[in-house]
Structure 1
Amino acid sequence: MKAIIVDDEKHVREAIKLLVPWATFGITTILEAADGQEAISAINEMCPELIFTDMMMPVTGGKELLTWIQTHSPTSKTIVISGYDDYPLVRHTMQHGGFDYILKPIDPEQLTNTVGNAVTSWREEDAERKRKAMQNIEMNVIKPVYWDKVFSEFIMHPHTLQKHTSAMQQEFGVKLDELTECQVAVLAVDTLSQAIWRKFAANRELLFFTITNVCNEIVGQGRERFGVAFRSFNRENEIVLLLWQSLQVTPTHTAHIQHVLSTTLRDQCEIGLGGIKKFPLGVTDSYNEARCALRYRNLLEAEAGVHLFRKEQIVIGTEMGWGAHEEPIRLSVLSSQPKQIEAAVMQWMDTVHKQPTITQEQFDRWRQALRVLTSRWGKELVDSTEIELPEDVITLPIDNSGHFSIDLWQEQLTDALIRFSNQIAGYRHKGSHVVYDIAKYIEVNAHRDVSLQEISHHFFMSREYISRKFKQYFNENMTDYISRIRMERAKMLLLNPALRMTQIAEMVGYQDEKYFSKVFKKMYGVSPNEYRKQQA
């Protein structure tokens, strides 16, 4: 903490410096000023928490200083030390935020107590100021999220907005009962260029905040707010504009928003615009139309723009699927050869290049079908559902100029399938080593009942995959392998005449001596007793 002593008499300033136990109160810096004007300069520069001042001083006196402090340094605690027991001065002190009024000559005990009380009061008020500041920060963070959730719910369930009538009027100055029409626009954030996503990779929330803030500044301009922008809780990477005024010129507004975003982000942002509907029940239809306008737009069109909803654009389009390309791609993945994968993908892309129109709806069907195919391949080839196609191929291939790029998609798909193929190969390689680990595990635990389920849990692999691999590498099923291990140990134990047959059976994992003998005879053609006699 810092303190300043303002008095035109140097010996008074020195006395105060000597009388107050500054360290006790955590005051480390003590400033001095000979008059009010000098004090104002020091307070402006150093912002002391505690101010001692005389009332009668040249240039600028105590009364003027107190008035200035109340306006420019209101959180400081001011203690007046004066030789005048004058009621008007005392009243002026209290009226202008003075903490206490002490008469000269100074009583050391009174001065110390007053300083202690002033410091305590300042710290309590400072803690409250910080609490309120933090509360305001939290509210500023929470409030946008709250309204995002409210409007996201409203878009899907129009009747829910009625319970927020008063809050909406207070926040946006909108009376719901006066609204008759509405219109919805959707901003497709996922079509922004890779350069933008890299720029905001460390803080994607900042990207959404920037776009939403730009939109709200535009729709909130002028004398009346004519809409609100919010981040959708219903779908990822989607910002929604709900508009309720000036709807006939909405395309102009959205084009302006697109222009400002282009200037701000140096990138294009696609916008879908639904039709004008009755408020509030028509908002869902307008929202769905805005989404359709985006999902059925032609991605091959070079320029981004505002896409108006048209019923005729909602067509499935070409039924071209993976079809004849599925098997060549599957074989290339199984080969683990990057060049074969690249060639198979190129054949598919040659067909894609011939398409006059590619919509996001169509692209999503292609990539979803590919997810299903690769999931099935993983199950068939290594009996694993853990291997998935990398996420790179799941997002729209938008190049650095902000355009949909088939060539970029080809690169992404080729790279993703190569990595997928490597996962398959690695899993198969791992599987060959795991089989031998399983065999060792069985040998160590052959004296007890080892189930396939136990082995599956222990090695984190499916029972079907373990059984198939075990048969492939050892040319016998697991049950026969366990029986053979047990019988080979039994043959060794039978050489010791001191061990009874019951003991040997238990030592190799059989609680029933008769069953042990039956298994032994089936495997070697003689009973355990006969084998023991032959070896004697």
Structure 2
Amino acid sequence: MKVLIVDDEKHVREAIRYFVPWEKYGISDICEATNGQEAINIIMEQQPAIVFTDMRMPLVDGAELLEWLHQHSPNTKTIVISGYQDFNYVKPAIVYGGTDYLLKPLNSKQLIAAAEHAFKLWQEEEREREQAFRQNMQLNVLRPLYWDKVLSDLLSDNASFQELQPALSEELGMCKDAESCSIAVISLQAANCRLLQRFHGDLQLTSFVLANVCNEVLSPQRNGFAFRYWQTGVDIVILFWDDASEAHKWLLHINEAIQLAYGVQVDIGLSLVNALPQQLHTAFLQAQQGLSERNLLHRAGRIHLYKEESHEGGSVEDHAFQAYIDKLKIAVLSGETDRMNLTVEDWAEQLAGMSVLTESNFLRMQEEIRAVLLRLQQEDNTQFELCYDEEGMFSVEGWRDQLKALLLRLSKESKLSETSDSRLVLEIRDYLDQNYRQDMTLQHIAERFFISRENVSRKFKQITGENLSDYLTNLRIVRAKALLQNTNLRLSQISELVGYEDEKYFSRVFKKATGQTPREYRKQ
């Protein structure tokens, strides 16, 4: 606490200094002023907790000083000291909140009691102010979390719009008669957003900062609110109300603000205008689909409006895509770096030539690649690096380079080449186990696994100890026995189910393997 003594009589100031036990309350800063104007200047600079003031002073008297304190420093406690028993001097002390009114000549006991009363009162109020300040700080921290949770529940149909509407109107500025809405979504993970890099991969911090940037743009108009989504799928949701058709314009402003602050822009999915509150969840799903179905190869525009029609053609889930997955699998099995690189180069060329590559299909493609590598590695050691350029746009070249680097790293770590033959044979055997019903020739298997017919036979015999044709025959006979024992299917049906189109040929193969015809085996 600081104290100011205001009196034009020096002996009065000295008496107050002498009698009051300042050290008891830890007070060492005691200022003095000879008039009200001088006191105002000191108060503005030092902000004292307690002011002792005379009433009759030159320039600015005590009444004017009390009025000024009431307006500009209401927490300051005042003790009025006057030599005149005149109500005109008592009245300002009462009106403007003086804690005590003392008459000259000063009585030491009354002075000490008045001072200690003022000290204790100021300390109690200061504790209350500090407590209120801490509570306000906690509310400022918790309030955004509250709205994150409540609005996330609202989008998931786990909260009542009618119950929330008064708070939405009072705190967020939503019009009470709002009948339409649009929703925008931002994902910081799926898109490998460059903004996430700026915050060292801290998703919570990045989401918090991004939501604040969005709300700084929206808050003056009070036409929308951004919050962190608590479920999976997206990180930031922006709810627009009032004139929801203007959402696209405001999203452009938001991206400009992000660009200005962090040097990047983000991709944003945007719903159509929907009824509020009936279609809130529908709008949310539309925004998600708008983001996930955006064309990664299209470099113009970062706001992606939901479209009802689905993309046709150019899908990465067609035959060509599956062929590249198979080629990649065999290339990794081979353990040959050049072969892996060539496969990735060819695949990248195919991607670059496509007209449409949606993010959802691209992510599924990455999961297919991860599944291939996981199956070969027996552990998830595949960490895809960023394949987005400095502007945050998808880069085929970036994808190609990061996949080649990943394959090289995994090859070195697991020494794939040392056991490539074993892995290849296991892949062939698994393929036979799953496809024995089909017409299976050595040439078909060789083409499937991109090796010569001679190598197929040699490697299979070397690893398993039996011929590939014998393994396939035994596999089919075992399946045929199970069908003969447990079903009433005709022999022609069983023959077809285990990969033989000719029933007579099936019977000859079965008898050669078991010493019995299929009918004899079933009868037995």
2:403 alignment counterpart: 413
In structure 2, relative to structure 1, the CA distance for the partners of 1:237 and 1:277 (3 Å cut) is closer
Aligned mates of 2:41, 2:198 — CA distance in 1: 45
Q: Does 1:288 align with 2:288?
A: no
The residue type paired with residue 364 of structure 1 is L
Deviation, 1:243, is 2.2
The residue type paired with residue 299 of structure 1 is L
**Helix, strand or coil: the match of 1:312?**
coil
The answer to whether the 8 Å contact 2:316/2:362 transfers is no
Q: Does 1:151 align with 2:151?
A: yes
Aligned mates of 2:299, 2:92 — CA distance in 1: 73
Aligned mates of 2:193, 2:360 — CA distance in 1: 21
Aligned mates of 2:134, 2:312 — CA distance in 1: 52
The answer to whether the 8 Å contact 2:155/2:281 transfers is yes
Aligned mates of 2:309, 2:401 — CA distance in 1: 33
In structure 2, relative to structure 1, the CA distance for the partners of 1:401 and 1:172 (3 Å cut) is closer
Q: Deviations over 1:129-152 (max 9, x none)?
A: 111111112112211221122222
1:60 alignment counterpart: 60
In structure 2, relative to structure 1, the CA distance for the partners of 1:229 and 1:91 (3 Å cut) is same
1:183 alignment counterpart: 182
In structure 2, relative to structure 1, the CA distance for the partners of 1:157 and 1:59 (3 Å cut) is same
Give TM-score, length-normalised by structure 2: 0.71
The residue type paired with residue 318 of structure 1 is V
1:455 alignment counterpart: none
Alignment of 1:230-249 (within 5 A): 230-235=227-232, 237-249=234-246
Aligned mates of 1:108, 1:330 — CA distance in 2: 99
In structure 2, relative to structure 1, the CA distance for the partners of 1:404 and 1:9 (3 Å cut) is same
Aligned mates of 1:22, 1:325 — CA distance in 2: 84
Alignment of 1:457-468 (within 5 A): none
Deviation, 1:354, is 3.6
The residue type paired with residue 163 of structure 1 is E
Aligned mates of 1:277, 1:180 — CA distance in 2: 9
Deviation, 1:183, is 2.1
Structure 2 residue corresponding to 1:326, chosen from 315, 326, 329? 329
Q: Does 1:297 align with 2:290?
A: no
**Helix, strand or coil: the match of 1:311?**
coil
Alignment of 1:134-533 (within 5 A): 134-157=134-157, 160-174=160-174, 178-190=177-189, 196-201=195-200, 205=204, 207-222=206-221, 225-235=222-232, 237-314=234-311, 317-319=315-317, 320-321=321-322, 322-332=325-335, 345-346=344-345, 348-379=347-378, 385=379, 387-390=380-383, 392-393=384-385, 397-421=387-411, 424=414
In structure 2, relative to structure 1, the CA distance for the partners of 1:415 and 1:32 (3 Å cut) is farther
1:495 alignment counterpart: none
The answer to whether the 8 Å contact 1:158/1:280 transfers is no
Aligned mates of 2:413, 2:157 — CA distance in 1: 44
Aligned mates of 1:421, 1:112 — CA distance in 2: 86
The answer to whether the 8 Å contact 1:325/1:347 transfers is no
The residue type paired with residue 111 of structure 2 is L
The residue type paired with residue 402 of structure 1 is G
Deviation, 1:93, is 0.8
Q: Deviations over 1:4-50 (max 9, x none)?
A: 11111112111211212211111021111111111111111111112
Aligned mates of 2:348, 2:186 — CA distance in 1: 29
Aligned mates of 1:100, 1:237 — CA distance in 2: 62
Aligned mates of 1:231, 1:315 — CA distance in 2: 33
Aligned mates of 1:159, 1:23 — CA distance in 2: 58
Which has the higher mean CA deviation after the structures are superposed, 292-301 or 151-160?
151-160
The answer to whether the 8 Å contact 1:193/1:399 transfers is no
CA-based RMSD? 2.9
Aligned mates of 1:144, 1:420 — CA distance in 2: 43
Aligned mates of 1:156, 1:226 — CA distance in 2: 22
Aligned mates of 1:202, 1:88 — CA distance in 2: 69
Deviation, 1:184, is 1.8
The answer to whether the 8 Å contact 2:150/2:159 transfers is no
Q: Deviations over 1:28-79 (max 9, x none)?
A: 2111111111111111111111211111111111111111111111112211
Q: Deviations over 1:402-422 (max 9, x none)?
A: 211222233333444455455
Which has the higher mean CA deviation after the structures are superposed, 90-99 or 411-420?
411-420
The residue type paired with residue 276 of structure 2 is F
Which has the higher mean CA deviation after the structures are superposed, 246-255 or 2-11?
246-255
The residue type paired with residue 234 of structure 1 is Q
- Between the aligned residues of both structures, percent identity stands at 34
Aligned mates of 1:159, 1:146 — CA distance in 2: 13
Which has the higher mean CA deviation after the structures are superposed, 233-242 or 183-192?
183-192
The residue type paired with residue 289 of structure 1 is Q
Aligned mates of 1:194, 1:270 — CA distance in 2: 9
Give TM-score, length-normalised by structure 1: 0.69
2:493 alignment counterpart: none
Aligned mates of 1:284, 1:194 — CA distance in 2: 25
In structure 2, relative to structure 1, the CA distance for the partners of 1:323 and 1:172 (3 Å cut) is same
Aligned mates of 1:28, 1:330 — CA distance in 2: 82
The answer to whether the 8 Å contact 2:8/2:33 transfers is yes
Aligned mates of 2:39, 2:412 — CA distance in 1: 75
2:28 alignment counterpart: 28
The residue type paired with residue 35 of structure 2 is D
- The number of residue pairs the alignment matches comes to 411
2:498 alignment counterpart: none
Aligned mates of 1:120, 1:131 — CA distance in 2: 17
The residue type paired with residue 183 of structure 2 is V
**Helix, strand or coil: the match of 1:201?**
coil
**Helix, strand or coil: the match of 2:99?**
strand
Aligned mates of 2:94, 2:134 — CA distance in 1: 30
The residue type paired with residue 355 of structure 1 is M
Deviation, 1:109, is 2.4
In structure 2, relative to structure 1, the CA distance for the partners of 1:195 and 1:256 (3 Å cut) is closer
Aligned mates of 2:341, 2:20 — CA distance in 1: 83
Deviation, 1:344, is 5.8
Q: Deviations over 1:168-222 (max 9, x none)?
A: 222234355x333322222344588865333323865554344333433444444
